[in-house]
Structure 1
């Protein structure tokens, strides 16, 4: 299912509107015909966030970007569904600034995932080859969990 693009007004009304404030502000600025959305994340992460924000609005299930899941450690999930304890990660293996390609970075990732699992979190992970499956995999995980609890 391909979700429709959101209008600026719809974006303002989402549960995640405060997170999107930078984007909303940039889109409201007068000026050039085409406004640039503030960038920092790679295009795959930006695409995932757009899809997750639309999915969140359609389902009413909150998705948070850069969610710190542990009260002491500074580990964060790229995206999270806190109410269901689901973390969503994009593994930027091909990125220039990726820490995932070094032994130290990979080890930190394993610490993060192990700590998250010990805290009751489930993580779904994506790369450049499968990130477009984020909604499909998230819905499957939620469905499987609901069926298990029946």
Structure 2
């Protein structure tokens, strides 16, 4: 089997820009950051589950669970535009959610869209999963 670099994979399978995200009733629309990270994880053959429900009683979900680990990954949106994650109620809700994940034994990695696009997120995830520094 021939392997290709992440840059080659991104060039071969680019994310289409310019299309508006549309919500389909009952379905959550993925952000550009989530789509990019999913593509990068696949390229590196790191298995994952999206929209992973990690709490038995609450409806909390993580954007990604790295399969076979207790690593959750969140791609935070709206941090520069005054989105939910930076306003009081949303920020407090996120703290409660991430603390609950930690109490349950999960490591939670949080990235914004630019960190995903730049490759920082996938590099840190790969280092953690594969035991690098």
Does the pair score TM above 0.5? yes
After TM superposition, the score normalised by the length of structure 2 is 0.70
Partners of 2:31 and 2:129 lie apart in 1 by 26
Q: Which runs of 4+ in 1 moved over 4 A?
A: none
User: What does residue 89 of structure 1 align with?
Assistant: 74
Instruction: State the match for 2:96 in structure 1.
Output: 111
Q: Whose radius of gyration is greater, 1 or 2?
A: 1
- How far has the Cα of 1:95 moved from its partner? 5.7
CA distance in 1, matches of 2:40, 2:81: 21
Aligned to 1:135: 122
CA distance in 2, matches of 1:95, 1:65: 25
Query: Greater strand percent: which structure?
Result: 2
Measured after TM superposition, the shift of residue 51 of structure 1 is 1.5
Structure with the larger RCO, 1 or 2 (CA within 8 Å, 6+ apart): 2
Q: Report the aligned-residue RMSD.
A: 2.7
How many residue pairs get matched? 112
**Higher alpha-carbon deviation: 108-117 or 76-85:** 76-85
- TM norm structure 1: 0.63
Point out where structure 2 has 5 or more consecutive residues left out of the alignment: 14-18, 23-28
Alignment partners' CA distance in 1, 2:102 and 2:67: 14
